[in-house]
Amino acid sequence: MSIPAPSNPPAKKSHTIAVLGGDGIGPEVVAAGLAVLHAVEASLHDVTFELREISVGAGEYLKHGDPLPPAALEEMKRCDAILLGAMGLPEVRWPNGVEMTPQIDIREKLDLYNGVRPIHLYHASHTPLKNYAAGEIDFVLIRENCEGLFAERLTPRPAGRDFETDTMKITRHGAERICRAAFQLAAKRRRHVTLVDKANVLPSMAFLRKIFDEVARDFPTVKTDRVYVDAMALFLVQRPQSFDVIVTENMFGDILSDLAAGIVGGMGMAPSADLGERYALFQPSHGTAPTIAGQGIANPIATILSVAMMLDWFGQPETIRGARMIEAAVKSVLADPAHRTTDLGGKLGTAEITRLIVSKLG
């Protein structure tokens, strides 16, 4: 999937990449992504990648007491892009009971507001839905990453209350820029944007819809729809082929991403990019999947496709060519239904499927 490159792609031909394996299956899928990146690098003219490994996550907290050390964040800012595996472990929590989520902190601190989550069906056997062939499910979910229902998650609260609240915060600035990002992407695809909200009940969502309608006027050639989030859960199962670009707030995007991944094979098939004006991070949409960590069975395709999105985002003809090479290799490998990892009902492990993809890049 082609994603919008920065307006001024860096002219340089060497790109520094911050590599954050993280926790659980994170390091395993990142290793697969890097194997693919190195294979592509060998085929590209005059483009090199310099990797900087950075320790962030629940494991880093257990070692040194901070899941996201300030020095790590500064190092990320000095790189051209960030490649992240997954972070957090169920047993490592803050005193208030919530898990450590440095991946969400990074999005907020680097203002990576635009969560781009492509959903593509690579083989009919991957979907639990009936009668969908490869390519017939193909849309992008745009998740607002920096406000919505996550906005006040770090706000200190008095202890010992008999209630707790979370706030759905939609600002004009936040809503405008995410809607604009969705329309700009749709203008390069099938020119159709669907807003997902709950405007019938929540004033914050009515406000989001008002701003969506304002932004839509700047894109007269893009068709629009507005769907309530509960109905969207239904439609994604009943008629996923009718969507092109879907835009929604943070929490709805979080939930619908998993549903969307589920109809194309699961979390191991869902890549993502978190984009801001200055920084960009690429990661599989999944979490650390601790129950399968260390067994060599994690599906690395989401991470490998996230690497392709990163090459697209670098925005130079050679890196864009590399992105297309990776997508073509994944497509070619997955066209054979025997080439499936265990989450897709197959027998291949992380290393085997990665080797197959790398072999197509020679």
Contacts with ligand ATP by CB under 6 A lie at 25, 29, 88, 258, 266-268, 286-289, 291-292, 298-299, 302, 343
Toward ligand ATP, which CB reaches closer, 199 or 326? Answer: 326
Q: Indicate the helix (H) or strand (E) that contains 225.
A: strand 223-228
CB of 103 to ligand ATP, least distance (A): 8
Tokens 């197509």 — which residue? 360
CA 261 to chain centre: 11
Pinpoint the alpha helices (H) of 283-316. 301-314
Largest CA distance in the chain: 62
CB of 186 to ligand ATP, least distance (A): 26
Calpha distance 332→359 (Å, rounded) = 11
CB of 341 to ligand ATP, least distance (A): 7
Is the separation of the CB atoms in 61 and 347 below 8 Å? Answer: no
Is the separation of the CB atoms in 305 and 281 below 8 Å? Answer: no
Is the separation of the CB atoms in 111 and 181 below 8 Å? Answer: no
Toward ligand ATP, which CB reaches closer, 29 or 307? Answer: 29
CB of 29 to ligand ATP, least distance (A): 6
Which residue is closest to ligand ATP by CB? 287
Toward ligand ATP, which CB reaches closer, 118 or 211? Answer: 118
CB of 281 to ligand ATP, least distance (A): 15
Toward ligand ATP, which CB reaches closer, 240 or 265? Answer: 265
User: Strand 48-53 vs strand 245-248: parallel, antiparallel, or unpaired?
Assistant: unpaired
Q: Hey, what amino acid is at 308?
A: A
CB of 255 to ligand ATP, least distance (A): 10
The SS3 of residue 190 is: coil
Calpha distance 178→184 (Å, rounded) = 10
CA 163 to chain centre: 33
Calpha distance 331→183 (Å, rounded) = 27
Toward ligand ATP, which CB reaches closer, 112 or 211? Answer: 112
CB of 27 to ligand ATP, least distance (A): 12
- Spatial CB neighbours of 5, under 8 Å, sequence gap ≥ 6: 312, 313, 314, 315, 320
Toward ligand ATP, which CB reaches closer, 298 or 305? Answer: 298
Toward ligand ATP, which CB reaches closer, 204 or 341? Answer: 341
